[in-house]
Amino acid sequence: MPRTSTLECPGCPPIRALTFDVLGLVKVTEARSKEGGIPKVVDRWGEPDSSKCILAASIDDRKSGPLLAIARKGGLIEILNPLNGHPCLSISNIIDNGPQPGDDAIVGLHLFKKQNLDLSSRSCTLLACTTKGNASMRSVELTSSHADSTSSVSSRTWNVCASGNILCSQVDGNENYALFGGKGVEVNVWDLEQGTKIWTAKSPPKNSLGLFTPTWFTSATFLSKDDHRKFVAGTNSHQVRLYDISAQRRPVISFDFRETPIKAVAEDQDGYTIYIGNGSGDLASVDMRTGKLLGCFLGKCSGSIRSIARHPELPVIASCGLDSYLRFWDIKTRKLLSAVCYQIIVMSNYLNLLFRSCYVVNFLC
């Protein structure tokens, strides 16, 4: 008989997480005990419908009137109340005479926070980007009743790539800059206020065999919320690259991680540590000042990791992937705290995760 070992999970501190899947469901997971709590799915928003698959999500977790934005497969963007899932409004991202949602799905969504600092304001600003690189930035009025369409206060559209497919996008912590990258698309950075591209990466040099590595970025994140000049990108060729747009167009640090594509990258609050997950379920932390691997998280995931979120205060990260499990990890010991099975088969690249505390309204990562 093969040897087996049981991995004991000590449980989680008070935590609340939101997950989004290919059936169009938003699931709320909570651990309510003070210490050693077992997280459970306590609520589910929506009905299973694969035609309403959730592709991207973003949240403005302010103390008064928080908002959650989700992008669905059919080109619809919905604004929800993240406390109870009640809909606030929905808008269509379909451009007149443009590509259909099936050929040009939304891959990136950001709900701006700085425009919503005025709590009396009844509008919100969204940035969306599609596979073909069609980016749109619009402000919409929040209405008292849920409607299928709303009038935009202002809107602006542009294209971030001439060819290829966008697979990842990210907005910096100050919400002044955004980066985009993908298959056949070098990572590029845009000034959102001016609407201009300020920097484009340059392909790495040829390898020892004289061959170029194909351009294929799968994930990216800014290294620090206060500095838009440095960001980390993961590639399909299992490379992790650190770029500094103030220094050069090629990576300042580049290294390989295992043998499968990098699927998720998340930054830590210290400004130099990142968490990476790949297509074979490996999860690790890296010090990007040197490119040193700090260690791998203990407790093998059996499916590709598609999303990683860092808790804003507790030393905890969460990961979810194609094995239909949501896992919570201690970032200090890199041990598994707990895991929750969602009992669905996820056969898609689309799975997202947001973090918030169940006791403090403005906790979110």
Lowest-pLDDT range, 13-17, 26-30, 241-245, 353-357?
Answer: 353-357
CA nearest neighbour of 70 among 88, 85, 86, 54: 54
Instruction: Name the band, by pLDDT with cuts 50, 70 and 90, for residue 7.
Output: low
Residues above pLDDT 70, as percent of the chain: 84
Phi-psi region of 93 (alpha: psi -120 to 50; beta: other; left: phi over 0): alpha
Distance, in Å, from the CA atom of 231 to the CA atom of 274, rounded to the nearest integer, reads 10
Distance, in Å, from the CA atom of 71 to the CA atom of 233, rounded to the nearest integer, reads 23
Report pTM: 0.89
pLDDT of residue 123: 81
123-179 pLDDT per residue, tens: 889 999 999 999 999 998 876 555 444 555 678 999 999 999 999 999 999 999 999
Distance, in Å, from the CA atom of 356 to the CA atom of 58, rounded to the nearest integer, reads 12
CA nearest neighbour of 30 among 83, 92, 80, 104: 83
Residues above pLDDT 90, as percent of the chain: 62
Please tell me which residue, 202 or 9, carries the higher pLDDT value.
Answer: 202
Distance, in Å, from the CA atom of 18 to the CA atom of 42, rounded to the nearest integer, reads 11
Lowest-pLDDT range, 76-80, 266-270, 298-302, 356-360?
Answer: 356-360
Distance, in Å, from the CA atom of 336 to the CA atom of 326, rounded to the nearest integer, reads 11
Residue 114 has, within 13 A of its CA and on its CB side, a CA count of 7
Contact 42, 30 (CB under 8 A): yes
Distance, in Å, from the CA atom of 310 to the CA atom of 183, rounded to the nearest integer, reads 26
Residue 341's CB is within 10 A of a number of other CB atoms, namely 10
Average pLDDT value for residue range 289-306 = 90
Rounded to the nearest 10°, the torsion over CA 286, 270, 253, 227 is: 150
Q: Whose structure tokens read 């690249």?
A: 349
Contact 111, 123 (CB under 8 A): no
pLDDT of residue 262: 98
Strand partners, 200: 188
CA torsion sign for 109, 110, 115, 116 is positive
Average pLDDT value for residue range 108-118 = 79
CA nearest neighbour of 217 among 192, 238, 244: 238
pLDDT of residue 136: 95
As given in the structure block, the two tokens for residue 205 are: 């040099």
pLDDT at 99 over 60: yes
Average pLDDT value for residue range 61-70 = 87
Average pLDDT value for residue range 183-190 = 97
pLDDT of residue 361: 26
Report the amino acid identity of residue 173.
G
pLDDT at 346 over 50: no
The SS3 assignment for 339 reads strand
pLDDT of residue 207: 80
Please tell me which residue, 262 or 122, carries the higher pLDDT value.
Answer: 262
Report the amino acid identity of residue 261.
P
pLDDT of residue 305: 93
